[in-house]
Amino acid sequence: MPVVTITLLEGYDAATRARLGTALTNAVAGVLDAAPEAITVLMPELDPASYMRGGATRRPGPPRPDPAEMVGTFLRTMEARDLDAARAMLAPGFTMTFPGGQRMATLEELVAWSKPRYRFVTKTYERFDSLQDGATSICYCFGTLSGEWLDGTPFEGIRFIDRFEIEGGRFTRQDVWNDMAEAKAQSA
């Protein structure tokens, strides 16, 4: 039964501590053959006034945004076509790659690329999987697409996976995979 102890400065809210506990449990389970329920995570807290580094007291650093919440918000914002709000979530140099290897750098390019493909698309989310790689948060979003082809024919149940990279609280990259081409070919 692994026991992980991490000492935090006081000040993190319960949701942040819960995210940290889950992340530590998952990290241990990914390396050791231990069931999550057998992994104990202890998080004692220090009063910030009783801690010094470099001769100065320190305050707790802010938590990173939850990648799954960020991705959900971004995708709902895009679905509503609130491009200004979505653009505010992008880092300089943001890139996206869509099926067929279509690379784009702006949301306007994406909207133009989508126009000759379908009238609209909505997403139903099955789950979000997040992980950390150094300073980069990575989040996969799985689900199905529904919407309407250009001729007005509805479609639904088309699988998709989106992969996002986040640095400094902003999206740096999006990669998209889906079965739209196969579904379109079957409907023809």
User: Which residue ranges make up each domain of the chain?
Assistant: 3-57, 67-187
Question: What pLDDT score was predicted for residue 184?
Answer: 85
Q: What is the pLDDT along the chain (188 residues), one digit of tens a residue?
A: 899 999 998 989 999 999 999 999 999 998 999 999 999 999 999 888 888 889 888 888 888 999 999 999 999 999 999 999 999 999 999 999 999 999 999 999 999 999 999 999 999 999 999 998 989 999 999 999 999 999 999 999 999 999 999 999 999 999 999 999 898 888 77
CATH class of residue range 3-57: alpha beta
DSSP H or E run through 14: helix 14-31
Q: Using CA atoms, how far apart are residues 61 and 74, in angstroms rounded to an integer?
A: 25
Q: Which amino acid is at 81?
A: R
Same fold, 3-57 and 67-187: no
DSSP H or E run through 160: strand 154-167
- What six digits make up the tokens of 158? 């088309």
pTM: 0.85
Burial pattern 141-179, b for ≥16 Cβ within 10 A else e, equals bebbbebebeeeeebeebebebbbbbeeeebbbbebebb
Q: Using CA atoms, how far apart are residues 187 and 157, in angstroms rounded to an integer?
A: 13
Cα dihedral across residues 110, 171, 155, 185: positive or negative: positive
CATH 3.40.50.12780 is held by the domain 67-187: no
